[in-house]
Amino acid sequence: MTIISIKDVSKSFKGNVLFENINLDIRKGQIYGFVGPNGSGKSVLFKMICGFIFPDSGEISIDGLEIGKDKRFPENFGVIIDRPGYIASKTGFENLKELAMIRGNISDKEVVETMEMVGLDAQSSQKTKNYSLGMKQKLAICQAIMEKQEVLVLDEPFNALDVDSVKKVRDLLLRFKEEGRTILLTSHNQDDIKICDEVYRINRSKLELTLPLIGDSHS
């Protein structure tokens, strides 16, 4: 079942053509990886899918609803795009609670459980301004998954995480896949991409399907 449909999408950014008539159907319950050199447009692609920016031409539909026409931002998406901003004077829990209150569909207990899931201490009085990069990244992952979002759009989710945390998050993503959630992620690390069902390389403004690397060993 197609959940995200990208049709003939083109996008230029500051004079550079990032995408030219790309087409892609994202099916429910799969993990998709996107790779490409820096500045190739991975984040721009994710921003277009989430409705944060519009394509120059073509259309992107989520569950049959066109972004920018029928809907602005898709529902039930968890996102990590760019460096997430937090209220520096609040703790991690307070920051997440602030976000959870927007929709109001999860309890404090669920926020705490999500924090524990990624290895953050919910009871800690440490303000986010004193968080390490890795802790901030874990907090970003928490906010993207805590409301049991159906689709996760994760730009470099493993950045700044230690080895144990990377493994923990990878296992978490595979569990989400089993639950039927759809995941889109980018990474520079081949090991991270191994969990993907399909991997696309952004090459010369096009999306090229590369072979899935599942089962491939990486030294």
Partner 1 sequence: MSNVAEHLKDILIKFRWIVIGIVIYFYGILLKNEIFSNASKDGLMINSWDVSLYLLNDIYIIVYFIVPIVLFISATIVLSDFNYMTLIRLGTTKKWVFRSLRRFWSKTSILLLILVFMSFYLTIGVPFSWDWSQYSKSNISHDTLGEIGLVFTAPFVAFLFQLGLLVLAISILHIFLSLFYVTIKKRNIFLIMCAILFLGSVVGFKLFPEEYAFLSPTTYFTLKNFIDSFNYPLIGLVVLIGLFIIFYLYILLLDINKRHYFQSIKSYLPHGIYLILCLTGIVSISISADPSKDTILDVLVLSFQGSNSESFSYFSFFYYSIVFFGLTYLINLDISREIEQIGYYKIIRYRNLEKWFWSWFRKFLLKVIFFLLLLGMFSIIIGAIVGLKTNFDVTVLYVDWYTILYHFIINGFLQITFYILSVFIISWGKREASYGLILISIFMVLMLPGINQQGVIPVGLNSLVNLLEHSPYRITLVLLIANIMIYLLIKYLFTKSFKN
**Subset of 62-81 contacting partner 1 (CB under 8 A):** 67-69, 71-75, 77-79, 81
Q: CB of 72: closest distance to partner 1 in angstroms?
A: 4
User: Whole-angstrom Cα distance, residue 87 to residue 23?
Assistant: 38
Among 38, 85, 218, 219, binds partner 1 (CB under 8 A): 85
Other CB atoms closer than 10 Å to residue 28's CB: what's the count? 14
What's the distance, CA 79 to chain centroid? Answer: 5
The distance of closest approach from Cβ of residue 202 to partner 1 in the complex, given in angstroms and rounded to an integer, is 20
Nearer to partner 1, 143 or 186 (CB): 143
Residues 97, 90: Cα–Cα separation, whole Å? 10
Contact 86, 128 (CB under 8 A): yes
Nearest CB to partner 1, comparing residues 69 and 167? 69
Residues 141, 144: Cα–Cα separation, whole Å = 5
Binding string to partner 1 for residues 112 to 151, with x set by CB under 8 A, is what?
-------------------------------xx--x----
Separation of alpha carbons 209 and 200, rounded Å: 4
CB 53 within 8 A of CB 14: no
Nearer to partner 1, 46 or 199 (CB): 46
199 scored as a contact of partner 1 (CB under 8 A) = no
Query: Site residues for partner 1, window 146-185 (CB under 8 A)?
Result: 147
The answer to whether the beta carbons of residues 42 and 34 sit under 8 Å apart is yes
Among 24, 50, 118, 173, binds partner 1 (CB under 8 A): 50
Nearer to partner 1, 41 or 74 (CB): 74
82 binds partner 1 (CB under 8 A): yes
The token duo for 46 is 């994710």
Q: Which of 97, 54, 98, 99 is nearest to 72 (CA)?
A: 54
The CB-of-60 to partner 1 minimum distance in angstroms stands at: 10
CB atoms within 10 A of CB 62: 23
Binding-site ranges for partner 1 (CB under 8 A): 50, 52, 54, 56-57, 67-69, 71-75, 77-79, 81-82, 84-85, 87, 99, 102-103, 143-144, 147
